[in-house]
Chain A
């Protein structure tokens, strides 16, 4: 029978955007299904509350207490067309070379020639993404970052400008509520809108509930299409030759598990890996209060970084600045007392009253892929386990005390810590050749289901020491290239 689409792409963020564009550009009929709304640059303003409600997932908390652990992490991701690339800080660093070695250790990932997967295998795709999204060095630093840099220079560790997919139209209006100037070249601007102009369809405010398979197609089941609930609450089905799942490392494994992939694959080794190996680059912020009025919410957040200690062996923490959450509500939600307890009452109010004096350093640690995403069978609830291990705690404490020292050296009078959070979810459907260690192969196609591809942070074999969106976009283009080179659509026998 005739399929509705050549490809259905689930999710429009760093994973879904580039591949949707490449396939559309090649003349394929593409539908993009996005759980969040379709907002344009002109819709973005600085009204924090509505931005948080319309563009972000409500923070989803880990349930580490079920493992007998004390600390929880707030997992915050984008829920709109463009996904997290619409509301994050657009930092665009290539993955450090050492992470490729860790990938090989994690899943024995090798390229087509049987050689361990390396920088060379992503090089041309990184170059392409960097061109497509106007990556440049961000040198117009805010006053907060300049002070932070002064403090760290006294400790011997200067900050350097980040690379970001932000062009010169940036007027430092902030990033977390959507960029109002189109300076941020996330997937919304760089890939989705061009795709729509060439005929791709965006089905927004629609949640995919199931991927559909047909099992009468020879040696392994094949993907048939998807089932989703649309904006009106109606359940719909669409068929396609291939499905590209790019819903992010939290939603992707849940969609696969809800689709019954374990049963369809006969409880294969690979299917048991779905949702395992969850890594998040556990993050936290140290805010420092200066005498000067900084109004540090008017900035391109995270425009400088210090990577001296980023490698696991050197400490395992990456520092980026400045960041004060860009709005008082998020700042109030984040700050904690000396015991790590969220603040409230007159003490919190006093800190908020000094909000204009604060600048912040964002700490990202190299944590291990020891978490898990799954659905609780008894309650039907989605669950996220991500232990903060003793070693993770040591990294965080070392980073926090270094930040505090740097703040004081730069003239700050006091510092305040934040909750644990993460915006870098990874690893829940790893790529590799051995199905006992991975969910998808080198080309991100499922080991178990033909025509089903996973293209998002889920496929990263182990946590990387850079903001992951550039790498996810490069992988997305790599898979698009594979689909085109192998003529997958033309060679497919319709079922």
Chain B
């Protein structure tokens, strides 16, 4: 576990550095933002998507971990060139513009999809950090019905949940 000074709304961080947490915090805010009242209109940060991303990357093979670290590095480099700051430090509209450029650069397009997927998975899969018990994505968008509403979601493949013994 890292020695953290900032709480990213999650119980534990196993893999990401503090700078990487800040990067993903900014990415979560950009990809799935919170509404005016996060209690009823949660975003990726609200439900603790950072721990999904952290646990997923933790268990990836080294070369895939490297792929994501490379993506962060390249996007930050783009942002520094254009806005003189890294992705986490720029304004929301600048982040949109940076991601758009990252997408329209054919060399980084796939990385854009991969980064976006991490956040989308961390939210629309109905994920929540073990420390969060409020409204999650499926409730928010009213995704449910036969075989869905009563499903037992198995998060045990994620370290954040494997190490968590209560509140399953």
Contacts and interface: CB of A to CB of B under 8 A. Distances in A.
Interface stretch (B1-9, B12-20, B29-37, B80-88): B29-37
Interface in A323-347: 327-329, 332-333, 341-342, 344-346
Given A61-B110, A332-B124, A355-B143, A344 B148 contact: no
A46 B144 CA distance: 10
B100 A70 contact: no
A297 B143 contact: yes
Interface of B: 30-33, 43, 96, 99-100, 103-104, 106-107, 109-110, 112-113, 116-117, 119-121, 124-127, 137-138, 140-143, 145-148, 151-154, 157
A332 B107 CA distance: 23
Interface stretch (A47-55, A78-86, A158-166): A47-55
A30 to B, nearest CB: 32
Given A328-B137, A328-B143, A342 B113 contact: yes
**Closest 3 CB pairs between A and B?**
A65-B106, A49-B125, A329-B124
Choose among A65, A297, A342 the residue with the greatest number of B CB atoms under 10 Å from its CB: A342
B125 A173 contact: no
A105 B152 CA distance: 53
A380 B31 CA distance: 32
B103 A342 contact: yes
A349 B32 contact: yes
Contacts of A48: 125
8 contacts: A47-B153, A49-B125, A297-B148, A329-B120, A332-B124, A342-B103, A352-B124, A352-B141
A143 to B, nearest CB: 13
Nearest to A62: B110
Contacts of A383: none
A433 interface: no
A72 B106 CA distance: 9
Contact of B31 (A171, A329, A344, A356): A344
Interface of A: 45-50, 53, 61, 65, 70, 72, 171, 173, 180, 295, 297-298, 327-329, 332-333, 341-342, 344-346, 348-349, 352-353, 355-356
B33 A349 contact: yes
B141 A355 contact: yes
Choose among A49, A72, A171 the residue with the greatest number of B CB atoms under 10 Å from its CB: A49
Nearest to B43: A349
A65 B107 contact: yes
Given A298-B145, A333-B116, 14 more contacts: A45-B152, A46-B148, A61-B113, A173-B147, A298-B146, A329-B121, A333-B120, A341-B103, A342-B103, A342-B112, A344-B32, A345-B30, A352-B141, A356-B142
Contacts of A47: 151, 153-154
Nearest to A64: B106
A357 B117 CA distance: 23
B124 to A, nearest CB: 4
A342 B148 CA distance: 27
A49 B137 CA distance: 13
Contacts of B126: 49
Given A65-B109, A72-B109, A328-B141, A49 B148 contact: no
B52 to A, nearest CB: 10
B113 to A, nearest CB: 7
A417 to B, nearest CB: 15
A353 B32 CA distance: 12
A344 B30 contact: yes
A345 B146 contact: no
Nearest to A65: B106
Nearest to A352: B141
A481 B137 CA distance: 51
A345 B93 CA distance: 11
